């Protein structure tokens, strides 16, 4: 019959995410439009320019995904170097100090040589309660290291429905088959895919929980209709003092994490 405590406690700390912007300008001069008119035009100029600039934006955002957010006068995306860290590189993340709040730290390991037990160590470090990591992300070189660690005496179950590979067009292609009986193009560890990305920082391997790492984007623009995932198109505009048209492809948002402790990173891997 003890008296029940009704004292209110503060159990949450609010994180703040600074928005970042990416853009590409599509510029078409009047003479270019004149040349590409009529039935005999060589190409759809606007479509080609849009496709080219979209590829440039994807490339820039891919670089930002692995950054610490301080590049370009802190205008770049706050990437995985900041999100998955134990304060070695970034002490204060999303306005919260990793020195004060240890739950805001990821498991950070520096080790030149990676072994199969290391994969298990990182997996277990990123596992919290019933939540398991969902993705291992690293460089093609470290993908090759993991492939070489596969025991030649173990029989593997091969399928043709492995983890989708994404190409420049954004279209996935199923993987999982062997090429001429040698080498894997799809690898897993404890049921989660290992993805090789050439933009990943050299020597780094991330064990991530994708439920806690995401792009936080804007859904609306004061003037322009939202497309998808934070992208906006301004439409083509004619400058008052130039013979041509200019339009911008815009993106507002940033990479965010609501739980760095759900991920792990291993750095300085050379073999």
Residue 252 has pLDDT above 70, yes or no: yes
Average pLDDT rounded to a whole number, residues 165-182: 52
d(CA 11, CA 210): 24
Residue 125 has pLDDT above 80, yes or no: yes
Longest dimension (CA), the chain: 91
pLDDT score recorded for residue 152: 58
Residue 1 in any domain: the answer is no
pLDDT score recorded for residue 178: 47
pLDDT score recorded for residue 166: 56
pLDDT band at 167; cut points 50, 70, 90: low
Domain limits for position 43: 20-267
d(CA 260, CA 213): 8
d(CA 110, CA 267): 5
168 versus 89: which is more confidently predicted? 89
- Tens-digit pLDDT profile for residues 72-109: 999 999 999 999 999 999 999 999 999 999 999 999 99
pLDDT band at 244; cut points 50, 70, 90: very high
Average pLDDT rounded to a whole number, residues 58-84: 94
Nearest by Cα to 114 from 142, 133, 82, 76:
142
Q: Assign residue 162 the CATH number of its domain.
A: 3.90.1690
- Tens-digit pLDDT profile for residues 201-226: 999 999 999 999 999 998 888 888 87
Average pLDDT rounded to a whole number, residues 57-81: 93
Residue 4 in any domain: the answer is no
- Mean pLDDT across the chain, nearest whole number? 87
pLDDT score recorded for residue 179: 43
d(CA 237, CA 260): 43
pLDDT score recorded for residue 127: 96
This prediction's pTM: 0.84
Residue 162 has pLDDT above 60, yes or no: no
Which of 77-83's residues contact partners 24+ apart within 8 Å by CB, and which partners?
77/20, 77/22, 77/254, 77/255, 78/17, 78/18, 78/20, 78/254, 78/255, 78/256, 79/255, 80/201, 80/206, 80/213, 80/255, 80/265, 81/201, 83/213, 83/255, 83/256, 83/257, 83/260, 83/263
Given a contact cutoff of 8 angstroms between Cβ atoms, the answer to whether 125 and 264 are in contact is yes
Least confident of 10-14, 36-40, 55-59, 222-226: 36-40
Residue 12 in any domain: the answer is no
228 versus 158: which is more confidently predicted? 228
Residue 185 has pLDDT above 80, yes or no: no
pLDDT band at 18; cut points 50, 70, 90: very high
Give the number of other Cβ atoms within 10 Å of residue 113's Cβ: 10
Residue 184 in any domain: the answer is yes
pLDDT score recorded for residue 196: 94
- Tens-digit pLDDT profile for residues 29-45: 999 888 888 776 767 88
Q: Are strands 172-173 and 178-179 parallel, antiparallel or unpaired?
A: unpaired
Residue 15 in any domain: the answer is no
- Percentage of residues in the chain having pLDDT higher than 70: 86
d(CA 264, CA 213): 12
Residue 185 in any domain: the answer is yes
- Provide the number of structural domains found in the chain: 1
Residue 5 in any domain: the answer is no
Q: How far is CA 30 from CA 24, 41, 52, 84, 249, in A?
A: 19, 15, 19, 48, 20
Question: Would you state the structure tokens that stand for residue 1, as one six-digit string?
Answer: 């019959």
Residue 70 in any domain: the answer is yes
């Amino acid at each position: 019959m003890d008296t029940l405590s009704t004292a209110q406690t503060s159990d949450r700390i609010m994180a703040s995410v600074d928005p970042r912007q990416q853009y590409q300008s599509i510029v078409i001069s009047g003479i270019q439009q004149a040349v590409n008119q009529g039935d005999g035009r060589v190409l759809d100029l606007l479509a080609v320019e849009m496709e080219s600039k979209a590829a440039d934006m994807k490339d820039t955002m891919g670089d930002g995904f692995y950054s610490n957010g301080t590049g370009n006068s802190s205008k770049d995306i706050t990437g995985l170097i900041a999100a998955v860290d134990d304060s070695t590189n970034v002490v204060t993340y999303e306005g919260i100090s990793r020195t004060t709040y240890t739950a805001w730290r990821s498991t950070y390991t520096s080790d030149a040589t990676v072994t199969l037990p290391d994969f298990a160590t990182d997996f277990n470090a990123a596992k919290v309660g019933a939540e398991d990591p969902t993705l291992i992300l690293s460089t093609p070189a470290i993908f090759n290291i993991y492939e070489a660690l596969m025991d030649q005496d173990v029989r593997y179950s091969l399928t043709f429905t492995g983890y989708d590979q994404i190409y420049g067009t954004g279209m996935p292609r199923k993987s999982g088959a062997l090429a001429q009986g040698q080498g894997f193009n799809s690898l897993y560890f404890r049921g989660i895919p290992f993805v090789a990305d050439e933009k990943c920082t050299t020597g780094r391997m991330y064990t991530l929980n994708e439920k806690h790492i995401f792009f936080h984007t804007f859904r609306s623009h004061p003037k322009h209709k939202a497309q998808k995932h934070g992208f906006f198109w301004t439409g083509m505009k004619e400058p008052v003092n130039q013979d041509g048209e200019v339009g911008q492809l815009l993106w507002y948002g940033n990479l965010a994490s609501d739980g760095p402790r759900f991920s792990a990173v291993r750095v300085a891997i050379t073999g």
